[in-house]
Structure 1
Amino acid sequence: MNINDYINSGVLELYVAGQLSEKESKEVYDLMLKHPEVLKEVLEIEAALVKLTASVAPKKDIDFNTIKGRLNTNSETKVISLNRPKTKWFNYTGWAAAVILAGGLIWTINQKSNLEDQIQIVNTEKDFLEIQMETSKTDLAETKNLLNIIRDKSIINIPLEGQAAAPGAYANVYWDKNDDTVYLDLQGLPEPPEGKVYQVWSLTLNPLTPTSLGTIDDFIQDDNKIFKLKNANQSQAFGITLEPAGGSKSPTLEQLYTLGALASI
């Protein structure tokens, strides 16, 4: 996924406006956690909306004395008959007060809305910072655990070399036979095309028998490119092929990207 193209697609504006489905919103949320530039763009969009809201609010308070002065332009004192119907002055002052009250309410509401939006942005930034810190702690713990595993003397390391379909590709398999687990370092594989996934195979060589260990469905989303699969087979080699989404029953040899055998074979 090209993050710049995603940012420019308009999806983030729809996310801020609350127009995405729950699934789409979750995708944006996950990308914000993984890509700081996406989070920054969302915060900038929210800030722009706050400024837009502020721009429609009245810039100045309505001056009551100005309204009163315009309504009472005649400075000469007049005698008002007690029998005369009430002057429209009272109507005018009531109208002016209503205008002032309405203007004040609009300004107050907008100011309150602006403040709430700013608080929401601060809270959002704080929440994401806390999530990122917690995620970093978790990632660090997982990384330390992984390093301890692959450095264990009982772990079998099998380098996988690039094949005809991708000569520059490479990968590493770390096989823990004690708990039937393989750890795959796939940093050396290119991003698979849309609609394709990598599939990992356990191989016995005589006769040649491939057994699928599963597909790597979240290859693009995983930044570390390290994956864990179960392997209870008596493996003599491992291979990785490019297959249609969902995987294949047998490996497509024309799309064999990497292959490697145990050193004792």
Structure 2
Amino acid sequence: MEDKQYIESGILELYVYGLLTEKENLEIAELARENPEIESEIISIEKAVSALSSSFSPFHSAANFEKTKARLELKHTKVVDIKPASKRPQYLGWAAAVLLLLGFGYQTLELAKSKQAVSEAGGEKNKIEREYAILDQQNKQTEKNLSIVRDIKNTSVTLGGQSVSPASFAKVYWNRETKTTYIDAAGLPNPPKGMVYQVWSLKLSPVLTPTSIGLLDNFEENSQKIFAVSQTDSAEAFGITLEPAGGSLTPTMEQLYTLGKV
């Protein structure tokens, strides 16, 4: 989905309101970290929600300011013509009124600053929480990958580079009991656009018999390059070929990148 489609879909509002699943929250958080436009839109939504909430609390509006000023104006009605001995009390009254108006103005300004600070702090807090969720997910994935590598029940098979790409290499971690199979493809280059790596379990005798056990999809997005593929019942060797997107029924031997015997 393009950035504009995400923004117009309404899913970002659901994210801010906390109505998405954990998986969807992580997806949006990852997307926000990589796309400034999405990040900016989320912050704008958060500020709008904060502003909407604060609009229900009392504050000094411009209209209230003018009403207060009007109440403080001196209304002159001549009842008894008496000349005051001094104008000092009148000046003091006006000075008090001005100070009171300035006080209201200052309080209004400080309140606006406080609301802005709270809004910015809330946005920063949410950004940190999103980044923490991403790091926590990455940490869990790292721990899982380490457990695969360290599991003594896994048979480790090294796949060496072939003529099409001599520098390539990979590793297979195969548990013969549970039949689970993982591929460490860190030694493979990023596939060209429209192509995908396909993993094969091979029987070498009496005739070469390849069986597809999975595709290494989203290769560039997988930072640790460890992929789970289909369970493997039996294998005498493993190979990885480069195939058109979607995979092939049989391996393209001219595009055999790595191969290794069990």
Q: TM-score range by the shorter chain?
A: 0.5 to 0.7
Q: Where do 1:107-146 residues align within 5 Å?
A: 114=116, 117-118=119-120, 120-132=122-134, 134-146=136-148
Task: Give the aligned residue type for 1:38.
Answer: E
1:246 equivalent to 2:242? Answer: no
State the alpha-carbon separation in 2 of the partners of residues 232 and 46 from structure 1: 44
Q: Where do 1:66-215 residues align within 5 Å?
A: 114=116, 117-118=119-120, 120-132=122-134, 134-149=136-151, 152=152, 154-206=153-205, 207-215=207-215
Are the counterparts in 2 of residues 32 and 39 from structure 1 also a CA contact under 8 Å?
no
Task: Give the aligned residue type for 2:185.
Answer: L
The answer for unaligned runs of 5 or more in structure 2 is: 16-22, 52-59, 79-108
State the alpha-carbon separation in 1 of the partners of residues 36 and 149 from structure 2: 32
State the alpha-carbon separation in 2 of the partners of residues 27 and 193 from structure 1: 29
State the alpha-carbon separation in 2 of the partners of residues 112 and 224 from structure 1: 44
User: Mean alpha-carbon deviation: is it higher for 203-212 or for 126-135?
Assistant: 126-135
% identical aligned pairs: 31
Q: Tell me the secondary structure at the aligned position of residue 189 of structure 1.
A: coil
TM-score of the superposition, structure 1-length normalised?
Answer: 0.59
User: 1:167 Cα deviation (Å)?
Assistant: 2.4
State the alpha-carbon separation in 1 of the partners of residues 259 and 146 from structure 2: 27
Task: Give the aligned residue type for 1:230.
Answer: S
Cα displacement string for residues 31-72 of structure 1 (whole angstroms, at most 9, x for unaligned residues): 743x8952777556666896xxx9xxxxx975639x86xxx9
TM-score of the superposition, structure 2-length normalised?
Answer: 0.60
Q: Structure 1 pair 193/136, CA: closer, same or farther in 2 (3 Å)?
A: closer
Q: Structure 1 pair 41/121, CA: closer, same or farther in 2 (3 Å)?
A: same
User: 1:239 Cα deviation (Å)?
Assistant: 0.7
1:30 equivalent to 2:27? Answer: yes
User: 1:182 Cα deviation (Å)?
Assistant: 2.1
The answer for unaligned runs of 5 or more in structure 1 is: 1-8, 55-59, 80-106
State the alpha-carbon separation in 2 of the partners of residues 27 and 245 from structure 1: 26
Q: Tell me the secondary structure at the aligned position of residue 160 of structure 1.
A: strand
State the alpha-carbon separation in 1 of the partners of residues 135 and 33 from structure 2: 17
**How many residues are matched?**
211
